[in-house]
Amino acid sequence: MANDVLVLGAGVIGLTTAVCVAEAGHRVRVWAELLPAQTTSAVASGLWWPGFTPRDLAWSRVSFAELSRLAERGEGGIHFERGLQFSDLSTEPPSWLNELVDARMCPPDEVPDGMLSGLRCTAPMIDLPRYLRYLTDRLAAANVEIEQRTVRDLTEATAAAPVVVNCTGVAAGALVGDADVQPVRGQHVIVRNPGITDFYAEMVSNPEWTAFFPHGDRLILGGARHEGRWDMAPDMDLAERILSRAIKVEPRLADAEVIGHEVGLRPGRTAARLDEERIDDTRVVHNYGHDGKGVSLSWGSAREVVDLLAD
């Protein structure tokens, strides 16, 4: 039975959920304070990575399958790239190693000082600005409109539709009184790509690390994870540290032209929330708190929303 569904939020979680719900036969509207190009999703690095918990791993598998199909069709700005990850957390292979394509652990002589392990693999890379436009176009094809509108009380939404899906990201903390939600500030330096095709990422215990992610002639440099910070202005001292660390790993970046700085607030939470509650006569499904794994978990959590609505 088709429902009238109102989706709140137009980041990658909101858009993907709206696509899945609409294509399952429901009538969908989207309300969003920020349009897709203004969201944190638009400034994400775009690397798909396996989920670490059983639920997140299952969601990431669903996302991997969908992203692979889109890449095969040349849709959505998705490309597979070879890359390298180092970690200072463990010498053991990660439990999710087999989820990666062409993965192998690096021998000890390839692991740099300060790191305990490394791996090479091939993984989906998602050019998020292009991908968000693709999702928006897919919604338009399903006759779904995005209305820019700020919702300050959930009852505003529940008064407008019999089913509401809350995909408001970091804003969900204030909207539903979830004290477990906090901003996790990230920042990137964008440079013209001097010809780098492989991604590089570190998984470390520190709040700052080295990473770079190629998207054609644009290269995204990271990374940072500062919990509890709401400020959105680029921190130029942090930008200098990001660039300096990247140059040490890849000397070709010393002469790369800096073309931009981006800041985003990941929706941090102990675990992503996906559950349902009743507010008066309205079903409210919550789907938020994916932290920095939004694109990796997006299709899996969105399909679970569809399953909930089918019950």
Same domain, 108 and 134: no
| Both structure tokens of 217 | 């002639």
Q: Which residue range is the domain that position 167 belongs to?
A: 1-77+127-181+269-311
Same domain, 72 and 132: yes
CATH number of the domain within which 275 lies: 3.40.50.720
Kindly tell me if the per-residue pLDDT of 13 is higher than 50.
Answer: yes
Kindly tell me if the per-residue pLDDT of 125 is higher than 90.
Answer: yes
Same domain, 6 and 117: no
| Average pLDDT value for the chain | 96
% of residues, the chain, pLDDT over 90: 98
Same domain, 162 and 189: no
Same domain, 262 and 284: no
Same domain, 24 and 166: yes
Smallest Cα–Cα separation from 188: which of 145, 157, 219, 164?
219
Number of domains making up the chain: 2
Same domain, 197 and 226: yes
**What confidence tens digit (pLDDT) does each residue in 256-300 have?**
999 999 999 999 999 999 999 999 999 999 999 999 999 999 999
- Mean pLDDT, residues 116-125: 97
Res 2: pLDDT: 62
Kindly tell me if the per-residue pLDDT of 1 is higher than 50.
Answer: no
**What confidence tens digit (pLDDT) does each residue in 14-60 have?**
999 999 999 999 999 999 999 999 999 999 999 999 999 999 999 99
Query: What does pTM read for this prediction?
Result: 0.96
CATH number of the domain within which 254 lies: 3.30.9.10
- Mean pLDDT, residues 146-173: 97
- Mean pLDDT, residues 178-196: 98
Report the 3 state secondary structure along 52-111: CCHHHHHHHHHHHHHHHHHHHCCCCCEEEEEEEEEECCCCCCCCCHHHCEEEEECCHHHC
